[in-house]
Structure 1
């Protein structure tokens, strides 16, 4: 009898511990999701921002060399893609074009960085640039230079097959960087241009 009671006590204690851990896990998950939701709110955050960005040296469609430090003093909207992208990249760049047009000239520097430096030569980027805002800076470089920037901006990119002419599966993020080159917020290719515009205006007016 005593052994049976002891076994029941042990089972009860185990059940209690499992239940407690489950409750704590739910609380922790809700807290994380709440933080994640806030971090992408249109108002942005002053603190707790991830480390994204860093130095780079690339060339534009005219062959001019650009460094990250050349953009100090003006916010940047940075997008990674490739000119042969069939849908996602044109969508993101179209939203960016609409936002930059409504914002007005000179308020922000839109930048496109290729994920396909082998095919996206300066000449190809020159043709590609004609489809979007005139202020767009189209940048390319060597494979190692592009890989360096991808790492800094935490961008994933990989050909869907071994064929180098195949499509590229990649992160579709638009980064808002402040005038010192620090990350402030991000969007994706489905973010409406109005939302991008509001967030950029907020940053220009308040620094958030």
Structure 2
């Protein structure tokens, strides 16, 4: 059967769409899961209040590697699981832990005040710094990172809502330059092995 010119165009477009879909399936199926791998050239940038009430920027950690995770204190699973893995990494770094600063940036400023973070981040015993700010400050900070977050109404959650968000853990170099990221579920052993390769 011979195809008309128009049919050939349609088949060509269908083939392109199929290839694009296949590539999407390989690299990740959710925006908040694959966003972290899209731009290898961005830098960490923030000006937020930490859980001790001090204003911190990326410049305060100049010369150190930063492990940055975006989440919220009321997160039921992803956030505590990831921060627990970070705690294991920091413990196993031993004397080299001084090279690395783990940072937790809240995407729930309504609930995550400095006082709330002061109760949350010490639970992981890894010298994690919790950062928060106004809604506008969090939005501005998020704009510097390839992340996604969205408030979702959920009657069974505290205060009637939860937050869907990017679950990648980011690594930034001593000059706040992006180095790599790990998807949710990456074990502490894998993170530690990668981290040692980069920091040596």
Q: TM range, normalised to the smaller chain?
A: 0.7 to 0.9
CA RMSD, aligned part only? 3.1
2:194 is matched with 199
1:186 is matched with 181
Counterparts of 1:23 and 1:149, CA distance in 2: 36
Q: Which runs of 4+ in 1 moved over 2 A?
A: 10-30, 48-55, 162-165
Counterparts of 1:118 and 1:20, CA distance in 2: 46
1:134 aligns with 2:134: no
Of 108, 119, 126, 1:116 maps to: 108
2:46 is matched with 56
Gaps of 5+ in 2: 29-37
For residue 54 of structure 1, report the CA deviation from its aligned partner: 3.8
Aligned residue for 2:180, secondary structure, equals: strand
Counterparts of 2:166 and 2:82, CA distance in 1: 12
Q: TM-score, normalised by structure 1?
A: 0.76
Q: TM-score, normalised by structure 2?
A: 0.79
Gaps of 5+ in 1: 1-7, 38-47
Task: Give the greater-gyration-radius structure (CA).
Answer: 1
**Deviation sequence 1:52-86 (CA, Å, 0-9, x none):** 34421111111011011111111100000111111
Aligned residue for 2:123, secondary structure, equals: coil
Counterparts of 1:158 and 1:21, CA distance in 2: 32
Q: How many residues align?
A: 185
